[in-house]
A and B are shown apart, each in its own frame.
Chain A
Amino acid sequence: MRKSAWWQRVSLWCAAAAVAGASWAGSAAASSPVTVTLWSWSPLSTTMQKMVAAFEKAHPGIVIKPQIQPSSTYWTSLKAAAASGTLPDIIGLSAGVNTQLYRPFLQPLNSFAARSWGSNWRSRFPLAVDHQMLLGNPKGNHNVYMLPEEAEVLNVWYNRQIFKKLHLAIPRTLPQLVKVSRALDKAGYIAFFQGAEAANFDQWMFMELADQTDQTGMLEAQIGKPTWTQPGMVRAMAAWKQLFTDGVIQQGALGQFQYPTGANLFAAGRVGMMLLGSWWLQEAELPPPQPAEVKNLQAFGTFPFPAITPGGHPSPYIGGIDVGFGLTKAAKAHEAAAEAVLKSIVSGRMEQQALNTLNDLPAFAGFKPTIPLTRHLNALYTRYLKILPHTISHEIGNPVIGQALVNAMQGVASGKLTPSQGMASVNAVAIQQEKSGS
């Protein structure tokens, strides 16, 4: 009898626990937030955490699971995820080839953009950014598959303190650049650091030069036309070679990367000049320890690349999309939540958080950092914002042609090829790609 009562009591407790558990699970399911997964290589992980916190605070029903990886592993992971059908809801993309590669997995965003920002939504983005959104689309396809979050502008950064110490003026012409470089070299500094192993910085340097000598040819080449052997393009390659022979670019540049080597040396005050971009502003907001020179970027300033032809003008500013985001087809399962996140990334709280770390420039018009900036930093940022609408696209649509250009630049710099031979080799690849329809 006693045994039976004991069993009855246990059974009752179990039943009660089961009912309580079931009802808790039920209520949890009813109120569980929607999870949106997001992968990217940019912005920095710490910045993304702030962006996510800001969004989740305003949207209690949505949880963002971000995964930020270094770009070297990000693209590999993304490729594997696409091949195995496990892409997240939102993916970080660069313009052109990477967006095109994942196009079959992405949703067209035109109607979402029109709903969010009105029918003339494209006018909210700078011209170069707008151009790059569609870069590489098949003829007749006017869909947009990624929306830019941040934009960038490239130019030469220089160490103002070193220049002041050595009584150097900002160079406006190539002979002046050579003279300044020699003075810097004589004083024990690396005059102009170029990590010529880094493909993207080589391409950008070439655009800085070619946009002076044949801007039309360069823009056509970027969309795949074989204009690489035009005289102005060959002249740009000759100027690139001259930067090495005249001692502007440092010895051993072909064996060095812009990041981390060059950027660290520049931040440490050992480099006079370097091709960088608006993203360098974020150094001012990076957590300590920072070299004293980097604090508020007081020691640094910018100027356009000097004129390489007699009587010519310095390089026009080049730039475009730094990072954009696309909605994958997987996001259709919780479309509203994913769209809310994407809208916030482009033109909402998430974008504001990114800008407040000075991550880069806003791609969407009307935004700027709301944190207090020093006078110098504010002047730099404001200047970039003014330049941004007038920048020329810095993206080569076809990676095979882009790689051929880098190979040719390295071949010319090392003396293996003449400028004409280098450009002929790029043009041959461009013709072959054009024929194959790539």
Chain B
Amino acid sequence: MPLNRRRGSWGRFSGLVYVVPAVAVFGLFTAFPLVENVLWSFYHVTLTGKDFIGTAHYRQLGSDPVFQTALVNSLLWIVLTIAAQMTLGYGLALLVEDHLVFGRGFFRTLFFVPMVITPSIISIVFTTLYAPSYGAVYGLWEALLPNLPFPGLLSDPNLVTFTLIGVNVWQWTGFFFLLYVAGLSQIPVEVREAARVDGAGFVPLSTRVYLPMLRPTHLTLLLLGTVQALQQFPLVYLITGGGPDNASQILGTDIFQEGFILNHLGYASTIATVLLILALVLVVLQLRLFGGRFTVSQRTLE
């Protein structure tokens, strides 16, 4: 007699019982806040109650220059941080794994250290480094380019977002590096040896052999990088607060400003909903484009 028939109705429902805790936790801490947030975006919300206002907040987005700046900056964060972190992470991984004989462990640790530093410390360090008149970057600039005015890295509205992206790249490249190191270690030795026997030097090896074989790592990093860039908040909040004149606002800091400084809780929920939709669209797009190809296919190996 089959096992599930012997167990009777319990056998049929036992699986469901086992998933109840996970579903309950997901429902309470993920699904409920998400649904509640979307609902709030249609209300004028105060601490004591809320009034239904339909799509007014969504129409307001079109005429809100701060939201538009935040949206553009968030997209810039995604594109620039991922491009820079992938390029630097891959380059460093190649140098350390393929060209270093001694000290690999040291460099792996060194590049990963920024990942474990709290954003508040990073913000203090970089604010001091970039400060005009006493910062280290200023000192270097004065020594190398004494006749050129020092750029307002954190005070120039045209530069500030790029400066902050630079800080993010400094912090996160180590993570990308580590994943590439793990990816490189998965490439069979025979493949490397065969390529070398065929006369492949550093450039062909890294661009025509490793790069395609690391496809699953690229896709994973693309996905994680997108989520990380969209979730960014502490670096911007702590270093510039979104300024000057909202020039460095991203969606996360704009939500905070609207919700907790200007007390527009409903409008903040609207921006949060836009952020949610943007994240979903980008992730679904990536999954659609690259499918489930998060593992190395046999064809690639061959």
Taking Cβ atoms with an 8 Å cutoff, the residues of A that contact B are 75-76, 79, 82-83, 97, 101-102, 104-105, 190, 196-197, 199, 250-257, 261, 265, 270, 399-400, 403, 406-408, 410-411, 413-414, 416
Contact = CB atoms under 8 A, between A and B. Distances in A.
A255 B153 contact: yes
A251 B133 contact: yes
B47 interface: yes
B270 interface: no
Contacts of A101: 47, 263
A197 B47 contact: no
A75 B47 contact: no
A105 B47 contact: yes
A256 B133 contact: no
Given A76-B260, A79-B260, A256 B157 contact: no
Nearest to B45: A83
Interface residues of B, number: 29
Contacts of B261: 399, 403
A410 to B, nearest CB: 4
Contacts of B156: 254, 414
B259 to A, nearest CB: 8
B77 interface: no
- Please classify the interface of chain A as helix (H, G, I), strand (E, B), loop, or mixed, using the class held by over half of its residues: helix
A190 B138 CA distance: 14
Q: Give the interface centre of A76, A104, A410 by most chain B CB atoms within 10 Å.
A: A410
A416 B157 contact: yes
Interface in B246-295: 246-247, 257, 260-263
B244 interface: yes
Contact of A413 (B130, B153, B244): B244
B127 interface: yes
B153 to A, nearest CB: 7
B114 interface: no
Contact of A255 (B130, B134, B260): B130
B112 interface: no
Nearest to A104: B48
A135 to B, nearest CB: 15
A414 B132 CA distance: 15
Contacts of B153: 252, 255
24 contacts: A75-B260, A79-B47, A82-B47, A97-B263, A101-B47, A104-B48, A105-B48, A197-B243, A197-B244, A251-B133, A252-B132, A252-B150, A253-B155, A254-B152, A254-B156, A254-B245, A255-B127, A255-B152, A257-B127, A257-B241, A410-B157, A410-B245, A411-B245, A414-B156
B155 A254 contact: yes
Contact of A252 (B155, B241, B246): B155
A75 B260 CA distance: 8
A270 B134 contact: yes
Contacts of B184: none
A414 B155 contact: yes
A208 to B, nearest CB: 20
A403 B262 contact: yes
Given A252-B132, A253-B155, A255-B154, A102 B244 contact: no
Given A256-B154, A410-B244, A414-B156, A399 B47 contact: no
Contacts of B131: 252, 255-256, 261
A404 B180 CA distance: 46
Instruction: Identify the 8 closest CB pairs spanning chains A and B, nearest first.
Output: A255-B154, A254-B155, A255-B155, A252-B132, A254-B244, A410-B245, A410-B244, A251-B132
Nearest to A407: B245
A261 B133 contact: no
Contacts of A196: 155, 244
A190 B47 CA distance: 44
A414 B157 contact: yes
Given A261-B127, A270-B134, A399 B262 contact: yes
Nearest to A188: B133
A407 B248 CA distance: 12
A196 B154 CA distance: 11
Given A255-B127, A399-B263, A411-B244, 16 more contacts: A75-B260, A79-B47, A82-B47, A101-B263, A197-B244, A250-B133, A254-B155, A255-B131, A255-B153, A255-B154, A261-B127, A261-B128, A270-B134, A403-B257, A416-B157, A416-B245
A255 B240 contact: yes
